[in-house]
Structures are given as structure tokens and as C-alpha cells.
Structure 1
Amino acid sequence: MSKPEALRRGVAEPFWRTKTLEAMTPSEWESLCDGCGRCCLIKLEDDETGEVHHTDIGCTLLDGLTCRCRDYARRQKRVPDCVRLTPEAVRTIPWLPPTCAYRLVRDGEPLYPWHPLVSGRASSVHEAGISVRGRLSGNEEEFSDDELPDRIVAWPGSDPDAR
């Protein structure tokens, strides 16, 4: 439904289409996360090129079944290099997945149909094959630093074009 049509029908536009990232309430902000877990994968940066490579290894707190943090409230105390997403961070982080709602809203793009805010179901991100569920080789404590380059995968940075 186009914006003029929605207004004629009296249907309010969803908050992610009308608000800036900065204007969102804390609950709106948190609801943008689709629960895919891709941002919680270990990433390697090429020192020479600055290119970021995703691995199929999760953060120590990433639950591979739920694709959520096991200790979200204390994550930054437990994992000091955990990146807290803020509007400023969303504008500067180069490794956010192309499917990430924070990135899509930042760029004025629509959310994917499988996003829980659109589908109305938290499981839709998993059903669409977007999440890390079933794709992790393990968590970071299970691998040595020397093994990380062998775990580089392309899928976390790919856009499934599932709109």
C-alpha cells in the first residue's frame, strides 16, 4: 500500500517508516532487531585493505538455536568488544548485514517481508533462512585464533533479495 493510499484509508504508517533512528523509543529500537544473529558472528578485518570478513563462528554469548544473546543485559561487561548499536554506530559500522533493519531504516529502505515487525512472527526470520540457526560451526571459545581464517564465509554479508 502506498503512503497516500494508507493515509486515505486511515492506516498509520509503521514507526520505522516515519521516525528517524534517533526518534525511536527504546522498545521501538529493540524491536528493529530481527533476531538473525548475523551481527554476533566473529568478524576478521584485513589489516591491509580494511575489508571485513564474516566467519561462521558465534560470539561466546550467541545462542545458536534462538540466535539471541544469552546475557543481553550484561553483554558488554562479559564481552568487552561487543558493539552496542546506536544510531551513530549504525551510520558508521561497515559490517552490518545487508538484511539488517537498522541499516535498512538508515538507508530509507523497506523491511523484508520475513522481518518479525512485518510478518508478525518472530520465527519468520528463521523460516526464511536468514538467521544463523543451523549455520554456526560453534562459538569463539571453541576455536583458536589460527583457525579463524579457515572459518570465513560469505553468506552473512549476502542479500538474499527476499523482499
Structure 2
Amino acid sequence: MQNKEELPFWQQKTLQEMTDTEWESLCDGCGKCCLVKLQDPDTDEIVDTDVSCKLLDLGTCQCSNYPQRHKYVPDCIKLTADNIEELNFMPPTCAYRLLLEGEDLPWWHPLVSGDPELVHAVGVSCLDRIVPETEVEDADLEDHIVEWPQDPSPPRPWIRYGDS
């Protein structure tokens, strides 16, 4: 059994106890939180689209101007330990949401795998599957509703055929 000090920070600390650097490192870079969401006025259901914020870099799924994003996108929500519980539009694979719900980080998360590109390689991110909001009229947003895949299965332990 590991001592608490041997555990990674996200297993030792609450979201409120994390440093700014630790907090920021929880982002897996999937880009899904930067997509336009639609809310049904009757049911309040929130659905995803494949339409990205104008600041999302389509080649990396990272904000192209993260430090000044609120200047260019005033309704961009700053995710904090105090508001994560209220943000029910965050994807189910989101590290902030998972930790809030008492889950651990998935195997493909950069902090677990050590590979920031794995989130894209396994299909969790929206890389190569989105269009910028500057190319979509508001009236056409309903045509862009999508369901993103959930957490993929762990990698299979493949062995070479014929080996035992």
C-alpha cells in the first residue's frame, strides 16, 4: 500500500486544495468544453455540437489565447473548484468532473499516461472533428448536434500471433 505522499497530487488533494499549476494540469486537452452547447428551453437539456469557440486551435484543441480569452469571448466560463459542480455541461470524461464525482483519472489522461497526444490518438478529443463558429450561422447550429464517444476501453494487451 502506498503512503499518501507517494500518491499523485490528484489522489492526495481536493480540487480546492490544488495549486494553480496542479489545477491547470488536470485539463486533458480534449477541447470539448470549448464547443458551442445548445440548451432546450423546455427541458433544460444541454447538448454538444461540433462547433468550436473562435479561439480554439483546431489543430491542437487548445485555446489560442488562453490568458486573454475573456477579452475576446466574454461569455467564456472560468472553470474553478467553486463552480465545477454547477457546470453540468462538462463532458463526462473531464478530469475536473471525474475528480469531483470521486473517480480517478482515466488511463489515457496525460498525467497518467505521460503522453499529451494520447487523448487525441484514442479518440476522446474533438481533434479533426470540429468546425469553427465563424463558419456556422446560429440558425444552423441544430444541424451540428453531436454525441461524443465516452471513455474508450483500456488498451488491449496484444500479443504477436503464434507467440505463447
- Structure 2 length normalisation: TM-score? 0.90
Name the TM-score, length of structure 1 as normaliser: 0.90
Alpha-carbon distance in 1 for matches of 2:114, 2:76 = 28
Report the equivalent of 1:12. Answer: 6
Asked whether the equivalents of residues 40 and 58 of structure 1 are also in contact (C-alpha less than 8 Å), the reply is yes
Aligned match of 1:96 in 67, 90, 110?
90
Structure 1 segments unaligned to the other structure (5+ residues): none
Q: List runs of 5+ in structure 2 lacking aligned partners.
A: 155-164
Residue type of the partner of 1:152? I
Match of 1:128 in 2: 122
Alignment RMSD (CA, Å): 1.3
Cross-structure match for 1:159: 150
2:35–2:49 CA contact under 8 A, matched in 1: yes
What is residue 48 of structure 1 aligned with on the other side? 42
Question: Shift in Å at residue 88 of structure 1?
Answer: 1.7
Residue in 1 that maps onto 2:76: 82
Could you say which residue in structure 2 is the equivalent of 1:25?
19
CA distance in 2 between counterparts of 1:34 and 1:160 reads: 12
Pairwise CA distance, 1:161: 4.5
Deviates more, 1:10-19 or 1:114-123: 10-19
**What's the % identity of the aligned pairs?**
49
Deviation at 1:122, TM superposition (A): 0.8
What's the CA shift string for 1:90-133, capped at 9, x where partnerless?
11111110100000111110111100000011111111111111
Question: Partner residue of 2:138?
Answer: 145
| Structure ID, larger Rg | 2
Helix, strand or coil at the partner of 1:43: strand
| Matched letter for residue 144 of structure 1 | E
The answer to whether the Cα contact below 8 Å between 2:49 and 2:141 also exists between their aligned partners in 1 is: yes
Provide runs of 4+ in structure 1 moved above 3 Å. Answer: none
Does the 8 A contact of 1:112 with 1:162 survive in 2?
A: no
CA distance in 2, matches of 1:11, 1:42: 40
| Residues 159 and 130 of structure 1, relative CA distance in 2, 3 Å threshold | same
Higher share in helix: 1
Contact 1:126 1:133 in 2 (8 A): yes
**Structure 1 counterpart of 2:145, one-letter code:** I
AA partner of residue 146 (structure 1):
A
Q: 1:58 aligns with which of 46, 52, 69?
A: 52
